């Protein structure tokens, strides 16, 4: 399956970069130019393996394509992966993932899409178009992510998410905060 990826060095530790990448709602809108609407579904309020999200792109306003994705991996602070459960008719398959690794005084963040298109008879033409369009999109999104990693509002929200998750994790293990 074709893949596109983009990477960027950000001047924050991997734990915080991971948290920025997983922001939602208005905070996510501050840095992610792709998203028009995004929220958890099926009653979920936190990310994790098996959790689903609804995302509508900003491509064409209120009639933009939408997708329901499911977390297939959740490994803070190193990686996260999602796969499309339901989405635009032209994607036979779509997945996305992040990787974060220490890099000098910050973090190297890598964002990757893996996809396939349908109908299969058009793949020879559609894959190069997908490479160009998705390549441009992921580049814009990772530039936005880098800006989010310098935005104090985004960083404060990401730190609050980290603290809340640490507290919940500690409570679920019976430990003190």
Per-residue pLDDT of the chain (177 residues; tens, 9 = 90+): 999 999 999 999 999 999 999 999 899 999 999 998 999 999 999 999 999 999 999 877 677 899 999 999 999 999 999 999 999 999 999 999 999 999 999 999 999 999 999 999 999 999 999 999 999 999 999 999 999 999 999 999 999 999 998 888 777 776 554
Q: Which of 149, 18, 158, 113 is nearest to 75 (CA)?
A: 18
pLDDT of residue 168: 80
Cβ-proximal residues to 137 (8 Å cutoff; 6+ apart), any chain: 34
pLDDT score of 75: 97
CA 45 from centroid of its chain's CA atoms? 16
How many residues are recorded in the chain? 177
Matching residue, tokens 């995302």: 55
How many C-beta atoms lie closer than 10 Å to residue 134's C-beta? 17
Backbone angle region of 160, left / alpha / beta, with phi > 0 → left and psi within -120 to 50 → alpha: alpha
CA–CA distance, 165 with 172 (Å, rounded to integer): 10
Q: Does domain 3-170 sit in CATH 3.40.50.1980?
A: no
The rounded distance, in Å, linking the Cα atoms of 55 and 28 is: 12
Give the pLDDT confidence score for residue 177 in this predicted structure.
47
pLDDT, position 28: 94
Tokens of 10: 């950000």
Characterise 142 by phi-psi region: left (phi > 0), alpha (psi -120 to 50), beta (else). alpha
Q: Which pLDDT does position 166 carry in this prediction?
A: 87
């Amino acid at each position: 399956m074709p893949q596109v990826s983009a990477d960027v060095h950000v001047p924050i530790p991997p734990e915080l970069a991971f948290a920025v990448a997983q922001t939602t709602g208005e905070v996510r809108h501050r840095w992610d130019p792709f998203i028009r609407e995004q929220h958890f579904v099926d009653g979920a309020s936190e990310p994790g393996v098996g959790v689903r999200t609804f995302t509508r792109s900003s491509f064409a306003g209120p009639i933009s394509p939408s997708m329901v994705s499911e977390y297939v991996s959740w490994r803070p602070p190193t990686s996260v992966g999602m796969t499309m459960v339901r989405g635009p008719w032209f994607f036979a398959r779509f997945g996305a993932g992040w990787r974060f690794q220490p890099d000098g005084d910050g973090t190297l963040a890598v964002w990757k899409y893996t996809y396939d298109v349908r109908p299969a008879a058009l793949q020879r033409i559609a894959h190069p178009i997908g490479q160009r369009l998705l390549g441009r999109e992921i580049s814009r999104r990772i530039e936005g992510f880098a800006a989010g990693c310098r935005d104090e509002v985004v960083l404060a929200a990401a730190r609050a998410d980290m603290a809340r998750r640490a507290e919940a994790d500690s409570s679920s293990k019976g430990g003190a905060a």
